[in-house]
Amino acid sequence: MHKSPRHYLGVGSWYTIAIILGIVFAGPFVWMLSSSLKPANEIFVTPPILISPNASIKNFQEVFRQTPFERYMFNSFLVATTVTVTALLLHSMAGYALARLEFPGRRLIFLGIISTLMIPFYTILIPLALLVKQLGWLNTYWALIIPAIPHAFGIFWLRQFFLGIPQDLEDAARIDGASRIAVFFRIALPLARPVMAALAVFFFLANWDSFLWPLIAANKQEMRMVQVGIQTFTGEHGNAWEQIMAASVIAIIPTLLLFFTLQRFIVESVKMTGLKG
C-alpha cells in the first residue's frame, strides 16, 4: 500500500488542509442547498443565513408543479446512461487500439481524433443542427444521443492509460493462445477499471447536464433535458432563484451519488492485483 500523506504530514495538518479546501469547495454547494429551502428574499442576504427559520420544501414542490421535471430527469437519465455505456465500450476499444496495436496510420488517426477536441462547439452548432435536421432527428432521442457519443476526450485518456500497462501481462495471455480481442476484453479492460469508472462519472455528468445541444436539437417540452428545464425558471426580468436552487439541488444528486458509488473503483489499485494474481 502507499503510505498516506497523513503519515508524514501528521494527522493534524492533513485534516487542516483537507478541511480548509473542503470549505472552499463545498461553500457554494452549501449555499445552494440552504437556498433551496428558503424563500426568495433570504437567498442573497449578507451575511448568509445557513438555516432559515422559514425553511420549507415549498421550492421543490413548485419545481415539480410548474414543470414536468420528472420527465426532464427521465430524458437526461436515458440520454446520459445510453451515451455513457456506448461511449465507454467504443472509446475503450479505440483507446486500446491506438495504444497497443500496431497498424498503419495509427499516429495520424490519433492526431486526427485529438484535433477534434480543439473545435469550439459553437463553431459547429449550426452545421451540426443542419445535419441532424437532414437526418430527420430533430426532437428525437437520436439527436440527443448519437452525436454525443463520439468524443475524443475518453479515447485520448484511455489511450494514455493503455500505454502504461505492463506488456508482460498481455504477453502471458498471448502465449496461452488468446487472440488480440480476447486480450483486450480479458486482460486490458479489467485493468482499466479506475479510468472507466472515472469516465463513467464524467460522461454521465456531461450528458446529464448538457445544455446547448439539447436546446437546439429538441424544442418540444417533453424532449427537454434537466439543464434546459432549469432554465425555465430564468426570465426576462430576473430569475426565480429559489426554484433554480431547488431544481439544481435535484439535478446534482444523481451525479454526486454516481460519483460517491464509483469512486472506490477510481482509487483501487488494479495493477497490484493484476501483477500478483
Partner 1 sequence: MKKYWRLITLALIIALMAGALPTALAQGPLKFWTFEYADAVDPFFTAYVDEWNATHDLQVERSEFPWAQYTGEILTTGIATGEAPDVFFISPGDWRRYAENGLALPLEDYMPQYLLDDLLPASVEAVTLNGHIYSVPFEMEPVVLWYNKSIFEEAGLEVPTTWDELLATAEALTTSDRYGILIPVNPDYYENFVFYPFLWMAGGEVVNEDFTAAAVNTPEAARALDLWGTLVREGWAAPTSTGNDPTDERFPLGQGAMFVSGYWVYGWLEASYPEFLEDLAVAPIPAPDEGDELATVYGGWTVMVYAGTEHPEEAAEFAIQMFGAEDNARAAAWGIEYNTKLSPRQSVLEDNAEFYTQFPHDAFAHEIFPTARAEPSYPPEIAQTVWEALQDVMFNNVSGEDAAAAWAEKIDAYLATR
Partner 2 sequence: MATSTAKAPPRRGLRDWLNHLSGMDRDRLEQAIVGYLFVLPDLIGLLIFVAGPMIMALVISLTDWKLVGEPQFVGLHNYEIIFKDPKFGASLGRTILYTVSFVPLVYCLSLGMAVLLTRRSRSNNFFRTVYFMPVAMSLVVAGVIWRFMFDPGNGLINELLGAVGLPPSQWTGSVQTAMISVIIVSVWKSAGYFMIILLAGIQDIPTDYTEAAEIDGANRRQIFWHIILPLLKPTSFFVLVILTINALQAFDQIYVMTRGGPAYATYTLLMYTYEKAFREWNFGYAAAMAVALFAMVFVLTLVQVRYFRSGEIRD
Cell matching residue 45? 442576504
Residue with cell 486500446: 96
CA-wise closest residue to 193 among 263, 255, 259, 254: 263
Can you tell me which of 73, 79, 155, 225 binds partner 2, judged by CB under 8 A? 155
Of 58 and 271, CB closest to partner 2? 271
Length of the chain: 277
Cell numbers linked to 190: 479489467
For residues 11 to 50, the per-residue mask of contacts with partner 1, x marking binding by CB under 8 A and - elsewhere, is -----------------------------xx-xxxx----
Residues contacting partner 1: total by CB under 8 A: 47
Site string for partner 2, 134-153 (x = CB under 8 A): ------------xx-xxxxx
How far apart, in whole angstroms, are the C-alpha atoms of residue 201 and residue 167? Answer: 28
Interface stretch with partner 2, choices 53-61, 68-76, 77-85, 261-269 (CB under 8 A): 261-269
Task: Decide: 66 and 128 in contact? Cβ < 8 Å.
Answer: no
| 189 touches partner 2 by CB under 8 A | no
Rounded Cα–Cα distance for residues 134 and 144 (Å): 15
Closest CB 258 distance from partner 1, rounded Å: 22
**Cα angle at 118 between 115 and 120, to 5 degrees?**
140
Q: Is 172 in the site for partner 2 (CB under 8 A)?
A: no
| 48-67 residues near partner 1, rule: CB under 8 A | 66
**Total residues interacting with partner 2, rule: CB under 8 A:** 113
Distance (Å, rounded) from C-alpha 167 to C-alpha 41?
62
Asked whether 207 and 148 are in contact (CB, 8 A), the reply is yes
**Interacting residues with partner 1 (CB under 8 A):** 40-41, 43-46, 66, 86, 89-90, 93, 125-126, 129-130, 133, 135-138, 140, 142, 146, 149-150, 179, 181-182, 185, 212, 215-216, 219-221, 228, 231-232, 234-242
